[in-house]
């Protein structure tokens, strides 16, 4: 019998994983995570970018191409390149300038009146108790939720010369107003209706801006003896200026694009006094089927809006 101790059986050796291999694996995993983290945002943005490019960028490019060609929808001839002829035609078109004049008149009345009333009502509502502010804000904002078709038809009945509501009320004072039949009153009537319909948006924005002004400023002003209009002139208005700039630019852009009010209430009359530029573009493109000329006028309007917006930025910045 042997006293020798048996040797242990050899164990199966696993492949060694050195620090170099493990480091490479970790580096690859981190690289994949970095790539996913970097480009995952674009993946979520992809649906919006596709819609943005399809329904905004492509139509803009197509519209600019249309402005450079002579394209009549009812003509069997293919669109022919005419360069800047459509733009030069607009410069010599008296109806174009008449429509621009009507648009400028509307902007000149609607923007100051709408923003002025919105600012006045915002300050008055902000001075009320918190529980009552919501009711007045809702009542003023509600007309903006009505479609322009419904609002236009209702106000056209209000303005009717024979059996309209407004003249029926004024008849007690022996007053009769040609709301829609006189070239002077027609645009004023459109502006009045537009202010009623759109004033809710600037009101809500201005009230939100008023809420951002610290109360401590008013308390300090009260200690110094500033009350009433001085508080508004030296505290409220300067601190509200960025919000006012946003509201003014927004109102100017919307006013230059006015269409539904004149199209439904007056149909551009009387004597084309209320046919604004958007209405003329619509008539040119879809009633006279001159798509190229209509596109050229649209780009001219776009340039005018850009110029006025930049002027507003410059004016508010200097002040």
| Span 68-117, pLDDT tens digits | 999 988 888 888 999 999 999 999 999 999 999 999 999 999 999 999 99
Taking 90 as the threshold, does the pLDDT of residue 217 lie above it? no
What is the per-residue pLDDT for 249? 92
Q: 137 and 311 in contact (C-beta within 8 Å)?
A: no
Residue 142 contacts by C-beta under 8 Å, 6 or more apart in sequence? 200
Residue 29 has what pLDDT? 63
Where in the chain are the domains? 20-67, 85-318
Q: Among the CATH numbers 2.20.25.90, 1.10.3720.10, 2.60.40.10, 2.20.25.10, which is that of 85-318?
A: 1.10.3720.10
Question: What band does 1 get if pLDDT is binned at 50, 70 and 90?
Answer: very low
d(CA 81, CA 301): 21
Helix ranges restricted to H, the chain: 19-52, 58-67, 85-91, 94-126, 130-141, 148-158, 165-170, 183-198, 200-211, 215-223, 229-231, 237-256, 260-261, 277-282, 291-318
Q: Is 283:227 a contact under the CB 8 Å cutoff?
A: no
Percent residues over pLDDT 90 in the chain = 64
Rg value, the chain, Cα: 33
What's the pTM value of the predicted model, to 2 decimals? Answer: 0.84
Per-residue model confidence (pLDDT) at position 257: 95
% of the chain exceeding 70 in pLDDT: 90
Confidence check: pLDDT of 10 > 60 = no
Cα(295)–Cα(61) distance, integer angstroms: 11
Least confident of 20-24, 121-125, 167-171, 312-316: 20-24
Do residues 106 and 190 touch, judged by C-beta distance below 8 A?
yes
Run of H or E residues at 80: strand 80-81
If you average pLDDT over residues 264-285, what whole number do you get?
A: 94
- Asked whether 293 and 120 are in contact (CB, 8 A), the reply is no
Instruction: Name 242's Cβ contacts closer than 8 Å, sequence gap at least 6.
Output: 209
């Amino acid at each position: 019998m042997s006293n020798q101790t048996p040797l242990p059986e050899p164990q199966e050796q696993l492949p060694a994983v050195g620090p170099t291999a493990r480091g490479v694996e970790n580096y690859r995993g981190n690289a994949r995570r970095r790539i996913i983290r970097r480009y995952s945002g674009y993946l979520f943005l992809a649906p919006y970018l596709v819609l943005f490019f399809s329904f905004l960028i492509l139509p803009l490019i197509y519209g600019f191409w249309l402005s450079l060609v002579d394209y009549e929808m009812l003509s069997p001839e293919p669109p022919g390149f005419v360069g800047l002829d459509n733009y030069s035609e607009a410069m010599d078109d008296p109806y174009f300038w008449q429509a621009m004049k009507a648009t400028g008149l509307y902007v000149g009345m609607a923007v100051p009146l709408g923003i002025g009333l919105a600012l006045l009502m915002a300050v008055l509502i902000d001075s009320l108790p918190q529980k009552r502010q919501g009711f007045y804000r809702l009542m003023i904002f509600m007309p903006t939720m009505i479609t322009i078709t419904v609002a236009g038809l209702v106000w056209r009945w209000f303005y009717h010369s024979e059996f309209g509501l407004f003249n029926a009320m004024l008849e007690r004072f022996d007053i009769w107003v040609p709301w829609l039949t006189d070239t002077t009153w027609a645009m004023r009537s459109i502006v009045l209706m537009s202010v009623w319909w759109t004033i809710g948006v600037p009101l809500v924005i201005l009230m939100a801006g008023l809420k951002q002004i610290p109360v401590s400023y008013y308390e300090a002003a009260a200690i110094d003896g500033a009350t009433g209009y001085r508080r508004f002139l030296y505290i409220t208005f300067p601190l509200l200026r960025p919000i006012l700039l946003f509201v003014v630019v927004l109102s100017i852009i919307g006013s230059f694009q006015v269409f539904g009010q004149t199209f439904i209430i007056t149909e551009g009359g009387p004597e084309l006094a209320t046919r604004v530029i958007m209405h003329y573009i619509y008539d040119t493109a879809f009633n006279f089927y001159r798509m190229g000329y209509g596109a050229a006028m649209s780009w001219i309007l776009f340039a005018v809006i850009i110029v006025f917006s930049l002027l507003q930025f410059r004016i508010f910045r200097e002040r």
